Amino acid sequence: MSATPAPPSVTTRERLVRGLAAALAERRYVDVTMNDIVRHARTSKRTFYEHFADKEECFLELYARVCDGLYTAQAARVDPSSPMRDQIRTLTEVYLETLSASPAVSRAILSDIIGGGDACLVARRREHERYADAMRLYFEHARREQPDAGIRSLSLESAAALVGAINELVLRAFDAGRADELVALAPTIEDLLRSMVLDRR
Amino acid sequence: MASAREERQPPAAISPEEATALWQLLTTEEPKTPRERLLMGMAAAVQERGLAASTVADVVRHARASRRTFYEHFSDRDDCFLELYEIIIDRLVWLFENSVVPQEVWYDEFVIASRTYLYGLVVSPALARAGIAEMTSLGPRALEARTRGLTRLADVLIQIHEEGRRRHPDIPSRPITPELALAIIAGEHELVLQYVQQDRIAAIPEELAPVCARMSYLIGVIAPD
């Protein structure tokens, strides 16, 4: 996160973020204590406070890292010259695989963050906007690359609504106890994306 | 902003004033029972100070009731707010159900319906903020209420779409599944939440109606192959 000064030691900081991720596998975000985080990170509370002001700040860094990881994975896997239908399939696959890799963290990011306080809500909005804008630019670029493929332009607002719609599908799956079957959502998410961006499905 | 970039604007069959009036018809009813009075007291408290700052003391002051009466009806402030939330959802469902005005162009019907619905939503900016943004910090009970509310609105979307399909048989279409309908309603609310967070509540109906309409329309039509 750009507002955070350069960390004195990247590895310790990373260990703390991973400590929080490990703690989230045991209990929900609101119930995770500082003791849980430092226990998993094998460090001290003192060290924690050298890196983060509070649990929330640590969580927001975890959040940003997961999002960055998702962007990188999507960019690495998708082939921009393939038919848009296939690109949508790959983007969806990577999205669901990323969330499935750590269901507890995904749940915290998609659901618990909402009740995590003002800073969490602001961070959530920022990441959503970032993701929506990336999505808009992605399809804009694809329109230029494949002008005859019937790819529609997506406004920033439409992209934001799409992000919200997709997140809701994942949340419903979590609530229904299907966190380990997120890939089953792929056809629905692809349908949603195709409906919004493709003239020809 | 958004409206300029989205598809063309249909004629306004319902003016903002009419949409507001539709909503107020429902809200100006005199509370009949102590419970209703407390719920209206809750609404008044939220309008005055926002949900986060509203206390049971505020609610009973507005309702002209005692704390004892309050606790005879509700276990706490959140309990009372969540019941008010259900009432607001009832009214939004009613407004959404009655928002369809048949048009020659099917898409136009969605713009009009979305605009009417969104005008209803922002009649009270404080309640909109409470029900969409502040509500989310009230814990699992509130999240369940949110899901129930969104599901009811999604059912209306399905119904509106089915009626539209009968009026516009010339446009190839398909039923919207409950899953997709809920996703779309949630997506629209996400967008509304963004506007609420940015303090742009007044701009919601005009700017977001075309976006919501486009999404609701596109999900149910079958593009030529």
- Could you report the predicted ipTM of this complex, rounded to two decimals? 0.85
Query: Does residue A9 register a pLDDT over 60?
Result: no
Which pLDDT band, with edges at 50, 70 and 90, does B2 fall under? very low
- Domain ranges for chain A: 54-197
**Distance separating alpha carbons of residues A124 and A60, to the nearest angstrom:** 9
Domain boundaries, chain B: 13-220
pLDDT higher than 60, residue B225: no
Name the residue among A111, A157, A188 with its Cβ closest to that of B208.
A157
- In the predicted model, is pLDDT for residue B4 greater than 60? no
Percentage above 90 pLDDT, chain B: 56
- Per the CB < 8 A criterion, the answer to whether B99 and B117 are in contact is yes
Task: Name the residue of chain B whose CA is nearest to A114's CA.
Answer: B136
Q: Which of A171-180, B8-17, B94-103, B146-155 has the highest mean pLDDT?
A: B146-155
Cβ-defined contact of A165 to B215 (cutoff 8 Å)? yes
Highest mean pLDDT among A173-182, B115-124, B168-177: B168-177
Architecture of the CATH domain B13-220: Orthogonal Bundle (1.10)
What whole-number distance in Å separates Cα of residue B77 and Cα of residue B63?
Answer: 13
Please tell me if residue B170 touches chain A, with a CB cutoff of 8 Å: no
Chain B neighbors of A161, CB-CB under 8 A? 184, 187-188, 190-191, 211-212, 215
Q: Which of A107-121, A143-157, B208-222 shows the lowest per-residue confidence on average (mean pLDDT)?
A: A107-121
The structure tokens listed for B201 are 């509540």
Contacts of B28 (CB under 8 A, 6+ apart): none
Residue A3 binned pLDDT confidence (cut-offs 50, 70, 90): low
What is the SS3 string spanning B28-72? CCCCCCHHHHHHHHHHHHHHHHCCCCCCHHHHHHHHCCCHHHHHH
Evaluate if residue A51 carries a pLDDT over 60. Answer: yes
Give the integer Cα–Cα distance in Å for B54 and B126. Answer: 12
Predicted pLDDT of residue B3: 40
Look at chain A and count its residues. 201
Q: For the segment B44-54, what is each residue's pLDDT rounded down to a tens digit?
A: 899 889 898 99
Among A37, A38, A33, smallest CA distance to A20 is for A37
Q: How far apart are the first and last CA of chain B?
A: 32
pLDDT of residue A168: 92
Nearest-Cα residue of chain B relative to residue A162: B187
Q: Does A165 touch chain B (CB under 8 A)?
A: yes
In angstroms, the CA B189 to CA B151 distance is 12
Query: 3-state DSSP: chain A helix, strand, coil percent, rounded to 5?
Result: 75, 0, 20
What does the pLDDT read at residue A158? 95
In the prediction, which pLDDT does B5 show?
39
Lowest mean pLDDT among A93-102, A114-123, B99-108, B179-188: A114-123
Question: What is the distance between the alpha carbons of residues A149 and A85, in angstroms, rounded to a whole number?
Answer: 10
Alpha carbon distance A163, B191 (integer Å): 9
Out of A6-10, A38-42, A87-91, A111-115, which region has the weakest mean confidence (pLDDT)? A6-10
Residue A40 has pLDDT above 90, yes or no: yes
Would the pLDDT of A117 be above 80? Answer: no
Instruction: Look over chain B and give the mean of its residue pLDDT values, rounded to a whole number.
Output: 86
Percent of chain A residues past pLDDT 70, beyond the cut: 93
The answer to whether residue B197 neighbours chain A at the CB level (below 8 Å) is yes
Q: Do B197 and A199 touch (CB under 8 A)?
A: no
Mean pLDDT value across residues A112-133: 82
- B89: closest CA among B97, B101, B77, B78? B97
pLDDT band, residue A4 (cuts 50/70/90): low
pLDDT score of B14 more than 60: no
pLDDT band at B12 (very low <50, low <70, confident <90, very high): very low
Confidence class of residue B209 from pLDDT cuts 50, 70 and 90?
very high
Q: What is the pLDDT of residues B120-169, one digit of tens each?
A: 888 888 888 888 888 877 888 898 999 999 999 999 999 999 999 999 99
Helices B204-220 and A156-175, packing angle to 10 deg: 70
For residue A119, name the pLDDT band (cuts at 50, 70, 90). confident
By Cβ distance, the residue of B2, B143, B187 closest to A162 is B187
In the block, tokens 């899901």 appear at B147
CATH 1.10.8, domain A54-197, yes or no: no
Is pLDDT of A36 > 90?
yes
- The answer to whether the CB atoms of A164 and B188 lie below 8 A apart is yes
The CA distance from B124 to the nearest CA of chain A, in Å, is: 22
Residue B11 pLDDT > 50? no
Q: Quote the pLDDT of residue B8.
A: 47
Q: To the nearest whole number, what is the mean pLDDT of chain A?
A: 89
Lowest mean pLDDT among A28-32, A119-123, B128-132, B169-173: A119-123
Please give the pLDDT value at position B95: 85
CB B223, CB A198: distance < 8 Å: yes
Q: Check pLDDT > 70 for residue B22.
A: no
Query: What's the angle, vertex CA A112, arms to CA A14 and CA A66, rounded to 5?
Result: 35
Q: Which residue has better confidence, A119 or B202?
A: B202
> How distant is the Cα of B27 from the closest Cα of chain A, in angstroms?
29
